[in-house]
Amino acid sequence: MKQNSVTMDGPCWVELGTSDPAAAKAFYRELFGWRAETDPRPEAGGYTQMFLGDAPAAGLTPLFTPDQPTAWTVSFAVPDTDVVVALVKDAGGRVLMEPAEVFDLGRFAVAADPSGAVFSLWQARAFQGAGVLNEPGALGWVELLTRDPVTSAAFYPEVFGWSVSRSDQYTQWGVHGGDFGGMLVMDDRFPPEVPPHWLPYFSVADVDNTVTRASGLGADVLMPATAVPEGPRIAVLRDPQGAAFGVYLAGTEG
């Protein structure tokens, strides 16, 4: 789906929690051309917005607890965080952080689905989320990696009202008539210690070139550039601090 504005109950923001914010800012600046602006207020905890041109593209934070992994977290837009938190609990998910206000920007919460995949909820006020989507250097697709596809396929439509489109190869999530993400079943290619998770994919003009440049910047290649049958060219990378993310060829969403 071509997303030019935030989709209600679809992905609206993506945020990196990292062990080395300075190194992460440098890596993504070189890879995607992002510009970093860190909130100077002490109560903001070092929160940084990463801009693509003048548009907010992603967030970046230091790790707040010793057991917090370096990872990307996908946020979904919701009209009422408190209502959706109750739906998460009723559907068998867990709430890791109860709803809280973020200055005048919005109200958020952190949750996990029944298999343990973590995601955030964002009720926008002054801040709507990503100002650019599906353009080179911006978020465009999100993918749930899970070992329990049956439960997941029931959980997310129950909580968010998403549609589910299945084929022999892949399951896709949709809202308001367009698909924005998918679900991949974790098989024996994934080590047991890798938990279920949401993986963001960023749009790029050249997947192969992006993989080469990312490798030169210290990233690991988890999946080399691959042409998906009847789909886009994609790759999966892990940044130097350990956060996994995907890239895909711009213009091939959905």
**pLDDT tens figures, 118-138:** 999 999 999 999 999 999 999
Task: Report the C-alpha gap between 200 and 247 in whole angstroms.
Answer: 8
Joined tokens for residue 95: 């709430």
pLDDT one digit per residue (tens) for the chain, 254 residues: 333 333 447 999 999 999 999 999 999 999 999 999 999 888 888 899 999 999 999 999 999 888 889 999 999 999 999 999 999 999 999 999 999 999 999 999 999 999 999 999 999 999 999 999 999 999 999 999 999 999 999 999 999 999 999 888 899 999 989 999 999 999 998 999 999 999 999 999 999 999 999 999 999 999 999 998 878 999 999 999 999 999 999 876 65
Full-model pTM? 0.93
Name the residue among 234, 248, 238, 245 with its Cα closest to residue 203.
248
**11-124 and 139-249 in the same fold:** yes
**Chain centroid, CA 187 distance in Å:** 21
Sign of CA dihedral 237, 239, 243, 248: negative
pLDDT at 14: 98
Domain boundaries, the chain: 11-124, 139-249
Return the beta strands (E) in the chain as ranges. 11-18, 35-38, 48-52, 55-62, 71-77, 94-102, 106-112, 118-124, 139-146, 163-166, 171-175, 178-185, 197-204, 220-227, 233-238, 244-249
Neighbour-count burial for 23-60, b at 16+ CB within 10 Å, e otherwise: ebbebbeebbebebeeeeeeeeeebbbbbbeeebbbbb
Give yes or no for a contact between 152 and 144, defined as CB atoms under 8 angstroms apart.
yes
| Cα atoms in the Cβ-side hemisphere of radius 13 Å centred on 250 | 14
Task: Report the C-alpha gap between 213 and 31 in whole angstroms.
Answer: 7
Superfamily of domain 11-124: 2,3-Dihydroxybiphenyl 1,2-Dioxygenase, domain 1 (3.10.180.10)
Joined tokens for residue 37: 């602006």
Task: Report the C-alpha gap between 247 and 228 in whole angstroms.
Answer: 12
Classify the phi-psi angles of 234: left when phi > 0, otherwise alpha if psi is within -120 to 50, otherwise beta.
beta
What CATH number does domain 139-249 carry, 1.20.140.10, 3.30.1490.100, 3.30.530.20, 3.10.180.10?
3.10.180.10
